Amino acid sequence: MTDQISLRKDRIFLMGFMGSGKSTIGPILANTIGYDFLDIDRAIETRTKKSVTEIFREDGEQYFRSVERDIISQIIAHPRLVVSLGGGTVTDPELFRVIASSGILVYLKVTPEQLYRRLHRKTDRPLLADIEGNRLGEPELRDRIQTLYTSREPIYSKADIVVMTDDTRVGITVDQIVKLLSRHLR
C-alpha cells in the first residue's frame, strides 16, 4: 500500500466496456491506495442470490438495472471507496450524474478488437448472447460489441481519467491510474 491519499472526491468509479478489466483492476487499485472496494455486479449477485445471467434470464434487464441503481444509492456516500461499475451502469443519465458528482470517474479504454478477443469465449455476459442465452457467432458478436461500443463510448469518454488498457499489464495500469489521481488530490 502507498501512503494514504486524500482526493477531492472520496470515491473512485471504474467504468468501461465488459471485459475492460474493471473487476480485476478495482481491488488492486483499492489495496494500493488503502481504499475499500466494491464490485457492483458481485454486490447485485449477493443481494439477489443469483448470477447476473440468471437475473437477466429470470427477472429481465429492467429488474437488474433497478437493483444496480439501489446499490449505487446505498454506497454513494461510503468514504474512501473504489467501485468497479458494470459496463451499463452509467448508461442511465441520472445515475451517471449521481456517480460523477460523488466520485472520480476512471475509464478503462479497450479497442473493440481487443474486447472481441477477451470476450469471445465468455458465457457470463447476457448482453453478448442470443435470446436463448447461447454464445453468438463471430460476425454477430463483433457487430454486437461494435454497436454497444459506439453507443457507450461517448458516455465513458466523459471520465475524469482515461487509460488505454489494450496490451497493458494490470500492475502498469494501476500505476498509471495512481499517478493520474495525483491531479485530483485535495
- In the complex with ligand S3P, which residue's Cβ is closer, 7 or 38? 38
- In the complex with ligand S3P, which residue's Cβ is closer, 103 or 126? 126
Task: Express the helix, strand and coil content of the chain in percent, nearest 5 each.
Answer: 55, 15, 30
CB atoms within 10 A of CB 90: 23
Round to whole Å and give the CA distance between 145 and 140.
Answer: 9
Give the interface with ligand S3P as residue ranges (CB under 6 A). Answer: 18, 22-23, 41, 52, 86-88, 125-127
Q: Which of 122, 174, 165 is nearest to 145 (CA)?
A: 122
State the nearest-atom distance from the C-beta of 17 to ligand S3P, in Å.
7
State the nearest-atom distance from the C-beta of 64 to ligand S3P, in Å.
7
State the nearest-atom distance from the C-beta of 132 to ligand S3P, in Å.
16
- In the complex with ligand S3P, which residue's Cβ is closer, 5 or 164? 164
Round to whole Å and give the CA distance between 102 and 87.
Answer: 18
- In the complex with ligand S3P, which residue's Cβ is closer, 7 or 52? 52
Does residue 106 contact residue 13 with C-beta atoms inside 8 Å? yes
State the nearest-atom distance from the C-beta of 178 to ligand S3P, in Å.
22
Identity (one letter) of the amino acid at 111?
T
- In the complex with ligand S3P, which residue's Cβ is closer, 12 or 52? 52
State the nearest-atom distance from the C-beta of 18 to ligand S3P, in Å.
3
Round to whole Å and give the CA distance between 148 and 166.
Answer: 18
